Amino acid sequence: MVLARTLRLVAIALPVVLTACAPKSWVVLLPDEDGRTGRIIVSGEEGQTEVAEAGVAASLDTPKPETFKVTPYRIEQTFGGALAAQPKPPAVFTLYFESGGARLTAESEALLPAVLAESAARDGADISIVGHTDTTGDPADNKALGMLRATLVRDALVAAGLRLDRISTESHGEGNLLVKTPDDTQEPYNRRVEVVVR
């Protein structure tokens, strides 16, 4: 009887105590979309701590951050709004080119409608287009060739109705190889344009 009453009192008091102890400002680590979990380093005025496990939180309003576990329920209660506002993650398309010029391979040409569909499916979509080349020829020429390839893809997307002011184009030339090769090496996988739809 006494025990039952004590337990009941504890059950009532516990949430109050927990709330009183809970920090007003804190951070909690979540798993990435791909299921892996990264790390954060949390610093206060007098110390820092590392969090590397999903569901583990650290206080941000104590001189030295203190770690604690958080339930999915509390995460949803506190962060439901921020989580609901998460935009769709960016989509990446890689388009490949015939050797030496700015002509898409037939396979990659066939991917353009998918890029358009992805863009149409998003509110306020913006697109980055980055052109790349293999290591055949002069680096300066390749910078120009990468730009030519990026521009070709941009023009195709604009011709299909996308907004020019939301598309950015640049070239990395032969400076950002997908497949590492020596200089002056033909490599179809390096002759590409990367399109990111956000």
Partner 1 sequence: MSLPSAFSRLMLACALALLTRVALAEDGPIGYVKTHAGAAFVVSAGKSMEAVPGLALRQGDVLRTGDDGRLGLILLDNTVMSLGPNAEMVIDEYLFEPGNEQLGLGVRLLRGTMQFISGVIAKLRPEAVKVKTATGTIGVRGTRFLVDAGN
String marking each residue 140-179 x if it binds partner 1 according to CB under 8 A: --------------------------x-x-x-x--x----
Q: For residue 108, which of 156, 76, 44, 162 has the smallest C-alpha distance?
A: 156
> In one letter, which amino acid is 70?
V
41: left (phi over 0), alpha (psi -120 to 50) or beta: beta
Nearer to partner 1, 37 or 151 (CB): 37
Nearer to partner 1, 12 or 82 (CB): 82
Nearer to partner 1, 82 or 106 (CB): 82
Residue 52's SS3 state is: coil
CB 168 within 8 A of CB 131: no
Please pick, from the candidates 3, 16, 20, 33, the single residue that binds partner 1 as defined by CB under 8 A: 33
Q: For residue 153, which of 91, 97, 107, 99 has the smallest C-alpha distance?
A: 97
Q: Which stretch binds partner 1 (CB under 8 A): 22-30, 105-113, 151-159, 186-194?
A: 22-30
Q: What is the DSSP letter of 44?
A: -
CB of 196 to partner 1, least distance (A): 7
**CA distances (Å), origin 59, targets 5, 39, 83:** 34, 15, 20
Please pick, from the candidates 12, 35, 72, 123, the single residue that binds partner 1 as defined by CB under 8 A: 123
Please pick, from the candidates 105, 126, 156, 178, the single residue that binds partner 1 as defined by CB under 8 A: 126
Nearer to partner 1, 5 or 36 (CB): 36
Q: Does 35 bind partner 1 (CB under 8 A)?
A: no
Type and span of the H or E element at 58 = strand 56-59
Please pick, from the candidates 90, 100, 101, 139, the single residue that binds partner 1 as defined by CB under 8 A: 90
Residue 196: beta bridge partners? 92, 128
List the end-to-end C-alpha distance of the chain, in Å, as a whole number.
62
Residues of this chain that bind partner 1 (CB under 8 A):
24-33, 37-45, 59-61, 65, 75, 78-90, 122-126, 128, 166, 168, 170, 172, 175, 196, 198
